[in-house]
Chain A
Amino acid sequence: MSMVGGRRSLVIPGEIIVEGNFRAGLNTYLENGKIYSTVMGLAEIRGRVVSVIPIKSYYIPKVGDIVIGIVTDNSPTYWQVDINSPYMAILQVSDALPRPIDPAKENIRKYFDVGDALLAEIALFDKLRSPLLKANGRGQGKLKGGILVEVSPAKVPRLIGKRGSMINMLKKELGCQIIVGQNGRVWINSVNEKLIDLAVKAVKIVDEEAQTRGLTERVKKFILKGKEKIDLESA
C-alpha cells in the first residue's frame, strides 16, 4: 500500500503503511525497511516521518498536563484519584491546597470527598509509581456544580482547536463554563440545564467527527439551531 504525502488512510494493526527510507513515528514500528501500524487509525506522512492517529486511545499522564480527576478513596494523608487512565493517581495532602493542611488535626475528607471532581495538574510520573497530582495552583481544586463528560483523549486537541478556536467558539455560543482536561474529561456548567444538555451533545459531535474538516462551523450551526429550539420551548 503506497502513500502520497499528507493523505490519510485508515490502517489496522500490523498493516504495512510504507516501504523505504522512512522513520517510524507515533503508533508505528520499523522492521526490515517497512513501517507497520500498531493501532487502528489514520496513517499520516509528514516529511519522512510516518505516524498513525489512533481512533481510540488512552490517557498516559504527562508532567504538566491539566486533568480532571474523580476522588475514589483516601487515606489520612492522601487521596486516590481516578484520572481516566490505566493508572490511578495520588494527591498528597501537601499538594492539595494553597495553604497547609495538618492531617493529624483534621479529617482531610472535608476538603475532597469520594465522588468529588477536581481540576489538577500532573506533577510527577515516572512509570514506576502512581502518577502524582497537585491541585494547589491557580484555578485548580474542587469543581462545584455542572457535570462531567468523557471524550477520547486523542480528540482533546481538536476539542480545544488551533489557538483555542473550537473551545472559545463553544464557550461563546453556549454561554457555558467549559473546561477540557488533557485526560479526555470535560466539565460543563450553566444555570440552564438545557444549555448543559446542548453542550454535551456538541462535545460528543466533536468527539465523533474530530478528523473531519469544517467541524467548527458545523458544530456552531448545530448549537445555534439547538439554542433556537430552547428559546421556542421556553417561550
Chain B
Amino acid sequence: MDEEIKLIDENGLRVDGRRFDELRPVRIEVGVLKNADGSALIVQGRTKILAAVYGPREIHPKHLSKPDRAVLRCRYHMAPFSVEDRKSPAPSRRETELSKVIREALEPAILLEKFPRTCIDIFVEVLEADGGTRCAGVTAASVALADAGIPMKDLVVGCAAGKVDGVVVVDLCDIEDKYGEVDVPVAYMPNKGLISLLQMDGILTMEEFEKALNLAIDGCKKIYEVQKAALKRKYDFTEKLKREADKSEE
C-alpha cells in the first residue's frame, strides 16, 4: 500500500478532481450488438462494460426449467486485458460471486412468470475495469433487458459509495477502491424505491453508513436519467417519424 497516495487533497477534491458527491461521467449506448436480443454499452469514467441479453429462449438441459416462470442466468466476466495485470480468461471466484449478486439484483424487477419453462441469459463483459464494475454491470444489463423487450416492473440502476481518507464519497474509481477504507455497492429500482443489491466491504459507523447509502441512492437516481435518455434516444427516430406523421394529419 502506497502511503504517498492522497485520496482527498486540501481542497476536499478526490484523485480525479471530483467532489465527494460527484459521479464520473456516464454514457450509455443501446443496441450495439446484432446477434444478442438486447445489448448496451456503458462507459462510466474509465470503466467500460458491454452487457447483452439472450431470451427468453428454451433452456437446456430441460430439467433445469421451472414450470411457472423463466430461469434467469447471469455471467459476469472480465476480459484478460481489462485490468492492470492480465487476468486469465478462466472464471475466478470473484466473478462467480458477482455473477450471482448481479443476477439477484435484476431478478426482482423482471416479470419472469410471463415465460414459464424458458430461460433468460444475461452476459456482462468488462472491457475496462476502473472501479464500480458490478454496479455499472447492473446498469447496463438492465438497459439490455429493456432493449430485448423483456417485461420488467422497473429498470435497475447500480451505484457504489464508500469511504476514502475518512470521507464518505460516491462512485469510487479503481484507486479509491484499492486504497480506500470501505466500499458499499448498491443497486436500486428508481420508480419503486427498492434496493436489490447491497454489499459492504470495510467498517463504518451507523451514521457513516446512512450517509453512504443516501449518496449511492442519489447516484442511482442520476444514472437512471442516463438510462432513460439512452433508451429513448435509440427509438427517437420513430418518435420523429410519428411527429412528422401527426403533423401532416393536422
Whether both chains belong to one complex is answered with yes
A interface with B by C-beta (< 8 Å): 8, 10, 12-16, 27, 29, 36, 38-40, 42, 54-58, 86-88, 127-128, 209, 211-214
Known A12-B231, A211-B238; judge A86-B58 contact (CB<8 A).
yes
In the assembled complex, 29 residue pairs joining A and B whose CB atoms fall closer than 8 Å, in A order, are A10-B238, A12-B231, A13-B109, A13-B145, A13-B146, A14-B152, A14-B153, A14-B155, A16-B191, A29-B153, A36-B154, A36-B191, A39-B149, A39-B151, A40-B147, A40-B235, A42-B238, A54-B149, A55-B235, A56-B37, A57-B149, A58-B56, A58-B115, A86-B118, A87-B58, A87-B117, A128-B67, A211-B242, A214-B248
Is B100 positioned at the interface, with any CB of A under 8 Å from its CB? no
Q: Interface SS of chain B: helix, strand, loop or mixed?
A: mixed
User: Do A14 and B241 touch across chains, with their CB atoms under 8 A apart?
Assistant: no
Choose one: A8, A15, A27, A55; the contact of B151 (CB below 8 Å).
Answer: A27
User: Closest chain B residue to A154 by CB distance?
Assistant: B149
Is B33 positioned at the interface, with any CB of A under 8 Å from its CB? no
- In the assembled complex, which residues on chain B have CB atoms less than 8 Å from the CB atom of A56? 37-38, 147-149
User: Do B231 and A86 touch across chains, with their CB atoms under 8 A apart?
Assistant: no
- In the assembled complex, which residues on chain A have CB atoms less than 8 Å from the CB atom of B245? 212-214
Count of residues in B whose CB is under 8 Å from the partner chain: 43
User: Do A209 and B241 touch across chains, with their CB atoms under 8 A apart?
Assistant: yes
Is B9 positioned at the interface, with any CB of A under 8 Å from its CB? no
- In the assembled complex, which residues on chain A have CB atoms less than 8 Å from the CB atom of B58? 86-88
- In the assembled complex, which residues on chain A have CB atoms less than 8 Å from the CB atom of B148? 56
How far is the CB of A149 from the nearest CB of chain B, in Å?
Answer: 15
Is B16 positioned at the interface, with any CB of A under 8 Å from its CB? no
Is B228 positioned at the interface, with any CB of A under 8 Å from its CB? yes
User: Closest chain A residue to B68 by CB distance?
Assistant: A127
Is B190 positioned at the interface, with any CB of A under 8 Å from its CB? yes
Q: Beta-carbon contacts of B76-111 to A below 8 Å, as 1s and 0s?
A: 000000000000000000000000000000000101
- In the assembled complex, which residues on chain B have CB atoms less than 8 Å from the CB atom of A128? 67
Measured CA separation A38–B235 after assembly (Å): 16
Is B236 positioned at the interface, with any CB of A under 8 Å from its CB? yes
User: Do B116 and A127 touch across chains, with their CB atoms under 8 A apart?
Assistant: yes
User: Do B242 and A8 touch across chains, with their CB atoms under 8 A apart?
Assistant: yes
User: Closest chain B residue to A34 by CB distance?
Assistant: B191
B169-219 interface (Cβ within 8 A of A): 189-192
User: Closest chain A residue to B238 by CB distance?
Assistant: A211
Is B27 positioned at the interface, with any CB of A under 8 Å from its CB? no
